[in-house]
Structure 1
């Protein structure tokens, strides 16, 4: 059914949604964005699913947006660019609003959009040694469509420590930034995820979904206006010469003009 993700389900009703492009460090391609949106809708509507674990195959959790996909957006016409930005924004929205607990199992590095994927989880736990960064500004881009979720997770004060700098930080700092709930030795990661799953097996599924909707309603607003603003912000950057230069420099394995040292 899917080519870039896979879904496994155990007899308790716990589903694991796997990012399955390990050879590409699970970078978000157009196909993966579409399939993740479909999966979020499918899992959200399945009355037999009690909770969902978001996991990834390979060494990396998610390297962010697929650079080939981003290059295509920059080279596309304006309507195509806007459609691409909207697809990414609505995928994140679908995962964020899914009426099931979403638990992030972060076994490896997460950059750019990967940080956004963590931010739409209700709780995320990582392995020691995983690294994180909002790397968009290194390429002349901005963390636009993921921005509402990153800010909601970290809070503006903490988010601004890493939102613009592209700085790499470790799992311990990710916990202090509220991106992660905890960090464990790699061998203990699955036990930590299981400890998050088990309580949901004693809860009423409809009540859990209603409680999540209430939390979203009372939390920082991420509605149509915020999503639309993030889309327009991303499109504006894609149309700027700085982003084109940054992407081209990356593919040419050259330093962009703003990089010193």
Structure 2
């Protein structure tokens, strides 16, 4: 995979894809081009059966500074319909990443502001460097964190959102961890090892079951089903009847390795 101007996308032999924001000279601020490319990359990753885990990373010292100044200038110059179209593109990009049927691990090596926090909020797991700082800065500009709002509020809850949305205050990685935006905080030197640990855990799991579990969480947490009990019963029956479910149970009962697990390193030369 590749061919992007604002991103890089690489997949290793294990099926771990690394999607990297690659505008370090612009602090990885999101331009119209980056928004479109992120949406395209998410669709491609969703459709690629060889991809089992996606790492969302960034080049340079900043994870994502939010909206690019040129993008914001263009939005300001548009009429209402044009602004709605621009906001729709951003909102649908976030939704496409949020709906990704693969685990999405955020590798946050530096600061994130505004839309950068939106990118963090659509990740399943976020590992952040100790020195990273964050802020939802929109109200300082007379704006609001609207399109990222559904994901950030779900992630951190209404109480924390009231504090951080309204006054645009900066907060550190420890606070981000305490409010649930970040899953784990690590020294910068240990960031890659922590991300690798998360990826390896997913590689022990059945890809279809992981996708189904992710859908289960979304549907239950967001009230997307009228009968959660009936839905969960049917889903479990579906998984028991799936090829993965049959293969996993057979391997477990016969003490065989799971068919989707990577071979274990025996430590030999």
- TM-score of Structure 1 vs Structure 2, range by shorter chain: 0.7 to 0.9
Query: Structure 1 length as normaliser, TM-score?
Result: 0.83
Q: Which has the larger radius of gyration?
A: 2
Name the CA distance, whole Å, in 2 between partners of 1:117 and 1:159: 16
Structure 2 partner of 1:175: 177
When normalised by structure 2's length, the TM-score is 0.81
Equivalent in the alignment of 2:220: 218
Give the equivalent residue in structure 2 for 1:153. 155
TM-superposed CA distance for 1:182, in Å, is: 1.0
Q: Which residue of 2 aligns with 1:128?
A: 130
Aligned to 1:205: 207
Tell me which of 40, 50, 57 is aligned to 2:42: 40
Residue pairs, 1:235-250, within 5 angstroms: none
Match of 1:188 among 187, 190, 193: 190
5+ long unaligned stretches in structure 2:
225-269
Q: Is structure 2 residue 25 aligned with structure 1 residue 23?
A: yes
More contact order relative to length (CA 8 Å, sep ≥ 6): 1
CA deviations on 1:165-207 (whole Å, 9 max, x unpaired) are: 1101100000011100111100001111111111111111111
Corresponding residue to 2:119 among 109, 117, 120: 117
Q: Which SS does the other structure have where 1:180 is aligned?
A: coil
1:6 and 2:8 correspond: yes
Q: Quick check: 1:99–1:209 contact (8 Å CA) kept in 2?
A: yes
Aligned length: 222
Deviation at 1:136, TM superposition (A): 0.5
Match of 1:81 among 55, 80, 83: 83
SS of structure 1 residue aligned to 2:166: coil
* Counterpart-to-counterpart distance in 2, 1:61 and 1:144: 20
In 1: Cα distance, 2:198 partner to 2:159 partner: 27
Take 1:111 and 1:173, find their aligned partners in 2: how far apart are those partners?
A: 14
Shift of 1:71: 1.6
Spell out structure 1 runs of 4+ moving beyond 3 A.
none
